[in-house]
Structure 1
Amino acid sequence: MALVQLPPVPQPIGVFPQFTAQRTETLILKEKVMSLSGDSFDIKTVDGRPIFKVKGDAFSLSGRKAVSDMQDNHLFDIRQRHLTMHSTYYCEDPSGNEFFEVKNKIRFLSSKAVATFISAGTGKQESLLMKGNFFDSRAEIVDESTGNLVAVIDRKFMNASELLFSQQTYALTVAPGVDMALMVAMCIALDEHRNEG
């Protein structure tokens, strides 16, 4: 059961059709406590079904995070682009081809980021705006061409282990018709940007 219900988008948005939400889906991204590999996350649906794995590489200069499905199929890596004016993250497929970019913009007491990619189903250039209060780690992701809300990120699930171990937990609610894997990438870019501050 989802925490928030989002209306479906008019056309599918994403790169991985097999991970398109069929109904409003809420995913819980929980950072692994004391992970030796860097920022690693367990990602499950709100009802407890595992859906993705994210494994960080502590020794990578670009903060590489490998995203896999539950059958250990490597989907993509999330990396940070260095020597840019604003924090920029990108995704590359297992062959090293870039297909997704998130650029952060600086605003007073809040942040926004723009993600760009080509949607698999339509071949359309997509631009998603992520905006909100990144200090509280709440953000909305909106399709810039239609104004439709496609996802909501919320970090209101703080508990004692987060305080003790600096562990992060996010609820990511994804609208029907939207690629859950790409929304996970945007949530992780938010977490990385937050950790920079």
Structure 2
Amino acid sequence: MAQIGGNLPYGAGHATGPVVLKAKEKTMSLTGDDFSITGEDGTVWFKVDAKLLSMREKRVLVDGAGRPVAALQKKLISLKPAWQLFRGADFQQPVATIKQKLLTLKPSVGVFLEGQEEAAFKCKGNFLAKKFEVLAVTGGQETAIAKIGKESRFSSAGAFAKAMLTDSHTYFIEAQPGTDLAFLAALCIAVDELFRDQEKKAASSGGTACK
């Protein structure tokens, strides 16, 4: 399985078993001041550094101790909106580019490692509803490594109902063993930003965003 984890210092590491993380956003974007990714016990694993939100088209993901694990920057020269992924808070050398794939019947997102023409990871599903799969691509074979959605098969019905009642912008990230969790968190932010751009363009033109 392709991995980016070696390029992302200070992260929570790789999942040693099935892991469920809860992404919580109190604004319509993952990059709001109150965005965080926690374990089901409430422990903060990752959050967006609110102090750096003023930087134009840049996002910095930190771990629970406030140490940078990954950074994202919007790629301005592109046929489609794209975000570049960096190690730590260093915006000098990207390790991957995350962009919507062209010429496909259904929306999909590809993660292209620097210097590679084929996607190492793909995301497929309903992005505006935040319900999609993350797939690792090896030798042309696609393997699901994570699922993102409003429900978690590992959560009790009571916990799920409470989460939905207290925060309509809460959803779950289910990661398989061996998954690079810092990368997965950064990818979710990038996907959110990609399709928010699409929503804004559709709204300004009077059209409807693709789902």
**Is this contact kept in 1: 2:84–2:97, CA < 8 A?**
yes
Matched, 1:152 2:130: no
Higher strand share: 1
**Is this contact kept in 2: 1:21–1:174, CA < 8 A?**
yes
2:40 to 33, 41, 46: 46
Matched, 1:14 2:11: no
Structure 2 runs not aligned, ≥5 long:
152-159, 200-211
For 1:24-43, what aligned pairs fall within 5 Å after superposition?
Answer: 24-33=18-27, 38=32, 41-43=35-37
For 1:94-109, what aligned pairs fall within 5 Å after superposition?
Answer: 94-96=89-91, 97-105=93-101, 107=104
Structure 1 runs not aligned, ≥5 long:
1-10, 119-124
Shift of 1:86: 1.3
- TM-score normalised to structure 1 length: 0.74
C-alpha distance 185-85 of structure 1, shift in aligned 2 (>3 A): same
Q: Distance in 1 between matches of 2:167 and 2:12?
A: 32
**Is this contact kept in 2: 1:116–1:127, CA < 8 A?**
yes
Question: Identity across aligned pairs (percent)?
Answer: 22
Matched, 1:79 2:69: no
Shift of 1:162: 5.3
Residue 75 of structure 2 aligns to which amino acid in structure 1?
R
Larger radius of gyration: 2
Shift of 1:169: 2.4
For these two proteins, the number of residue pairs brought into alignment is 174
Shift of 1:40: 5.0
Higher helix share: 2
